[in-house]
Chains A and B, each alone.
Chain A
Amino acid sequence: MNRNDWIKWAGLAAVVIILFLIPAFIKSPYWMLVLTLMWVHIIAAESFRHIVTVGEYSFAHVPLMGMGGYASALLVMKLGLSFWLALPLAVLATAIISFLIYYPCLRTTGTFFFFASFAFGEVMRLCWVRFRNPFGGVGGLSDIPRPDTIHIPGLPTVEFTIVSHTSYYYLILVFMLFSLLIMYLLDRSRLGAIAAAIKESKVLASFVGIRVWRYEMIIFVIASAFAALGGSLYAHYMTLLVPIEFYWGLGIYVCVWAVVGGTGHFAGPIVGTIVFGLARELLRPFPQLVPLIYGLILAATLAFLPGGLISLPGKILPWAKKVLARVKER
């Protein structure tokens, strides 16, 4: 490891420590809610980026996130399972459903993949609206049980109630860091390299012996599993699931976070989600302007910064160095 790597890892460790210390400083339940939801959104945007690594944009992603929430909520509510068992089962169930959804979608590419996935995601979402039993219809599911108390001998008991913002914060933070770690390792593994090859050209990738269909499907299923994880955490945190939330409003937002942050880099969607999350809070006094600001930031990023916000330092640094050199010359 060279010096730069050390700085990078030390910075990362510092960020993680700060994230763990935040509840000690922020006492306002409102900001805890904002931050906790932001971690859920980061899981969604980062797993969305995973799909983008093969060059496709999926709109079934957010409905699949909802599916994770519905699956785990129903497992707890109807079968009486514990949250800790329902969570992995919901992830598994959503992975299987995502396979069924993406199976036909993979016959298409580009914009039409986007719309085919949206169509199937929408059919799934309308099932929740249409079938009151078990999905609860337009009103959705309410009073979803909270996670069971964690009781490990020797450690303080962790309870989840309506006022336990801190335990929710840590629960979701840990799951977020865990998902990011796994996705980062996947991104760095052979799978990530294959995804990059597929993105470059499906035809060329298949010529060098990559089974394009199989690897695309693997990546989509993995991404959906992480989306389901986010959805399940969301469901048991908010204790309320409404089908309209997983309509294309959130779908487009997740896409915008990832694209504006920069899908070329692993940290891009994280940056995008945080920037937009904070921008929304700053704009809270002017809710009618939020879509306009979103639209303008999006348009400016696409026109002037195709690599996303994450490519901004890379663009500014050389320019700043040049300016500095010129100043020194004088």
Chain B
Amino acid sequence: MELSTFLQMFVNGTMIGFQLALFATGLTLVYGIMLIINFAHGELYMLGAFAVFFFAEQLGLNYFVSLALAMIVVGLVAIAAERIFFKPLRGEHIPSFIMSCGLAFMFQVAAVLAFGIKDKAIDSVFPGVIMLLGTSVSVERLAVSLISAILIIGFYIFLLRSRSGRAMRAVMQDPEAAALQGVSINQTCSLGMGIGAALAAAAGGLLAPVFIFNPWIGPVLTWEGFIVVCLGGKTSLPGTLLAAFILGYVRSFVTTLVDPVAALMCEAAILGIILTLRPQGLLGHE
């Protein structure tokens, strides 16, 4: 194998890793706080892409403004969904999960009714390709990775430094103890859901110019995100980051060296093996 091929695979893997990290952080957050596996998370990504499409293409706003607006709108939608659909089922894991499947269906239909069933695309914001050490890197993917990194770092600063962030970490560790200390569980759940949804929407909005999208792109992403969450250790946010990059490299290397279906098989097998042999994941604890 040539060095340039290896580098190309490495670069691609890193970029997939950034996208998965941004997407899966919200999934881990929601699971950590509410112990709900939010099957509608991929739909939030899809809604993010459509929101950016709406603001940027249909209203003609600036791309970055649209991205910020999309994050806010999708975050609010998710908070409303949490209040209406998940609150009555708090603590019941399988009904919550099935409810989130129902929610995913509803979001899909909402997108179909609002935007139709045709594939959509947004004009590239950062055109061009740069060559580095014999590997071609599109400026767009580089910018997407960079913005993802900024968002993830921003989220971590919020989580580690702010009062609400501390409340979230407390609820993730022990909801009852947190409630006894005066943390409002309801508020924290809503906030966690909102922030997780905003990050998913950001991922969707960032990738909208890169890939075409339609109302049915959600479930595949949820699946990828779920593999990342389990591999990283379910409630461990640093584990999610690590797992996102591992999965990115697995996808990139196996796709190039074998074929795309084999990459999907590897990912599914990783999930099965990690759940059955090391249920606490890479960085989680028992």
Contacts and interface: CB of A to CB of B under 8 A. Distances in A.
Interface of A: 57, 104-105, 107-108, 110-112, 114-116, 119-120, 122-123, 126-127, 129-130, 248, 252, 255-256, 259, 288-289, 291-292, 294-296, 298-299, 302-303, 306
B109 A291 contact: yes
B98 interface: yes
A126 B271 CA distance: 14
Given A115-B271, A126-B264, A256-B101, 15 more contacts: A104-B272, A115-B37, A115-B226, A115-B230, A115-B275, A119-B272, A119-B275, A130-B261, A288-B117, A292-B109, A294-B105, A295-B101, A299-B99, A302-B95, A302-B99
Range of interface residues on chain B? 35 or more
Contacts of A248: 219
Interface stretch (B20-28, B85-93, B242-250): B85-93
A129 B261 contact: yes
A116 B94 contact: no
20 contacts: A104-B277, A105-B276, A107-B276, A107-B279, A110-B94, A111-B94, A112-B279, A115-B37, A115-B226, A119-B268, A119-B269, A119-B272, A119-B275, A130-B259, A130-B261, A294-B102, A295-B109, A296-B102, A299-B85, A302-B102
Contacts of B110: 292
B113 to A, nearest CB: 7
A298 B265 contact: no
Q: Rank and list the top 5 A-B pairs by shortest CB-CB distance, nearest first.
A: A119-B272, A295-B105, A292-B109, A291-B105, A295-B102
Contacts of B85: 299
A110 B95 CA distance: 11
A126 B261 contact: yes
B106 interface: yes
B262 interface: yes
Nearest to B116: A288
B145 interface: no
Nearest to B36: A111
Interface of A is mostly: helix
Given A126-B264, A288-B112, A302-B89, A256 B269 contact: no
Interface of B is mostly: helix
A130 B265 contact: yes
B95 A306 contact: yes
B114 to A, nearest CB: 11
A288 B113 contact: yes
B276 A108 contact: yes
Contacts of A57: 94
B106 to A, nearest CB: 4
Given A115-B230, A295-B105, A295-B109, A127 B265 contact: yes
A107 B269 CA distance: 15
A123 B261 CA distance: 10
Contact of B272 (A116, A289, A298): A116
Contacts of A299: 85, 99, 102-103, 106
Nearest to B37: A111
Contacts of A119: 268-269, 271-272, 275
Contact of A116 (B97, B104, B276): B276
Interface in B90-146: 93-95, 97-99, 101-106, 108-110, 112-113, 117
Contact of A288 (B101, B109, B265): B109
Nearest to B84: A299
A165 to B, nearest CB: 32
B279 A108 contact: yes
B102 A120 contact: no
A256 B98 CA distance: 8
B37 to A, nearest CB: 6
